[in-house]
Amino acid sequence: MSVSLSAVSDPPFFTVQAQDPHTAARAGLLRTTHGSVTTPIFMPVGTQATVKTVTPDELKECGAQIILSNTYHLALRPGAERVAELGGLHTFMGWDRPILTDSGGFQVFSLGHLRRVTDEGVAFRSHIDGAALFFTPERVIQLEEWLGADIIMPLDECLGFPMTEQAARVAAARTLRWAERSLAATTRADQTLFGIVQGGVYPQLRRECAREMAALPFLGHSIGGLSIGEDKATMHAMITEVVPLLPPERPRYLMGVGAPEDLWEGVARGVDMFDVVLPTRIARNGALLTRRGRLNIRNSMHASSRAPIEQGCPCYTCQRFTLAYLHHLFRAEELLAYRLATLHNLRFMLDLAAEIRASILAGCFSAARDEFLASYRPTDQGVRDQQKEKWLARRATRPPASASDATRPDDQELDDRTGD
């Protein structure tokens, strides 16, 4: 077992710098081989070693401190061993700041029609060409060590919603066994492995899994298996069950969650790290984030507007272009539209995380949260349910993967949360 997984490190991997007196919100500092990260933090998702449409320098200008990539997708192409031969993921993608890699556990859910789960591991059929690949906890650690990310996730079993309590119990127990095998398989001292808490939407299972995962020598913990179809109140309840049982000296990462309102609510419950493809994906569909809610740039009301997306926004897009111009780009399907929208949405989310952190340090988190949520209009639950049904319908009718599908433009739509 790697010495980096011991309960104590020098200097500590994570330090709590401030604690809100009225909630579980806290500000902290993560230390990694490729630099420090202040928390709470939003992590842009670069599934295939790129955050779509933007360069590493643009990510830095937006304020990104750490980004996320996906082991399953990179194992398929270009191959984790090839990335290692080319100098590791940081060199390969030209990003010199921290990286977190997901294990492919979410693909156990999102690619459910292309995999088979056993106690040994997960047998996938590639969504690109149908090729077989077998992920065991040990194999995933090997792939992630080849990739060389600073923070890595173990293989876990993520279920879809709804699920039975028995299925959730089996998956949580399997995730715990896989966590132990993952710990035993690590060899690199410059990577930090997190444990993942599963348990579905069942409070008792969540508590049991959290206690057992907390007893293992991880330096951080993830909360997985949420934002997969359950309502927000249920998601919040599961976070509330889990966080108090995790060691306070370890960071908490809420996997695949990160709408603006989720950051405020998650931080209030003690979460430190967030990621989701939402800002970049909706940007490519013409949805722009503002402090009032989402703005649909395709709406004809913006065709003659001289205003920016949001007054006072410091992003490149708002500083240079009008809503009228962005409306034109989207209506004309110009590629620049997707870049400009993505730059704005990323800057919005990263600035929001910085604002939340500043409010904790200043001792006014609760007031800042109330002020933001009072004017922000989140996406209606009914709309989210409709979007999920459409995605499930597409997945159910999609033919088996074959070599002829390799250039299919919507490959990543198979993977609704971590396929950016």
Give residue-wise pLDDT tens across range 55-87: 999 999 999 999 999 999 999 999 999 999 999
Query: Which pair of tokens denotes residue 324?
Result: 């009228």
Question: Residue 88: its pLDDT value, please?
Answer: 98
* Catalytic residue check, 415: no
pLDDT tens digits for range 176-213: 999 999 999 999 999 999 999 999 999 999 999 999 99
Q: Which CATH number fits domain 10-276: 3.40.190.10, 3.30.565.10, 3.20.20.105, 3.40.50.2300?
A: 3.20.20.105
| Angle of CA points 196, 197, 200, to nearest 5° | 130
Tokens matching residue 397: 């009718």
Task: Give me the pLDDT at residue 412, please.
Answer: 36
Q: Is residue 410 scored above 80 in pLDDT?
A: no
Residues of the chain with CATH 3.20.20.105: 10-276
H/E segment holding residue 41: strand 41-43
| pLDDT class of 283 with cuts at 50, 70, 90 | very high
Q: Which of 275, 415, 416, 420 is catalytic?
A: 275
Q: Tens digits of per-residue pLDDT, 136-181? A: 999 999 999 999 999 999 999 999 999 999 999 999 999 999 999 9
pLDDT of residue 380: 75
Catalytic residue among 102, 272, 415, 420: 102
* pLDDT value at residue 394: 54
Torsion sign over Cα 109, 395, 378, 161 = negative
Q: How much is the mean pLDDT over the chain?
A: 91
Position 416 confidence tier, pLDDT thresholds 50, 70, 90: very low
| 238-246 average pLDDT score | 98
Q: Is the pLDDT of residue 135 over 70?
A: yes
Rg for the chain, CA atoms, rounded: 20
Calculate mean pLDDT across residues 271-294. Answer: 98
Residue 371 has pLDDT above 90, yes or no: yes
pLDDT of residue 6: 41
Q: Give me the pLDDT at residue 9, please.
A: 59
Q: Is 159 left (phi over 0), alpha (psi -120 to 50) or beta?
A: beta
Please, what's the b/e burial string for 286-296 (b: 16 or more CB within 10 A of its CB; e: otherwise)?
bbbbbbeebbe
- Compute CA distances 3 → 217, 246, 395, whole Å: 10, 21, 42
Give me the percent of the chain exceeding a pLDDT of 70.
Answer: 88
pLDDT in tens, 88-110: 999 999 999 999 999 988 887 78
For residues 397-404, give the mean pLDDT: 40
Q: What are the pLDDT digits (tens) for 319-352?
A: 999 999 999 999 999 999 999 999 999 999 999 9
pLDDT band at 400 (very low <50, low <70, confident <90, very high): very low
Reduced to 3 states (helix: H, G, I; strand: E, B; else coil), residue 172 is helix
Answer yes or no: 275 catalytic.
yes
Global pTM reads 0.92
More confident call, 318 vs 129: 318
Residue-wise pLDDT for 210-236, tens only, equals 999 999 999 999 999 999 999 999 999
> Distance between CA atoms of 357 and 369, rounded to whole angstroms?
11
Whether residue 398 is predicted with pLDDT greater than 60 in this model: the reply is: no
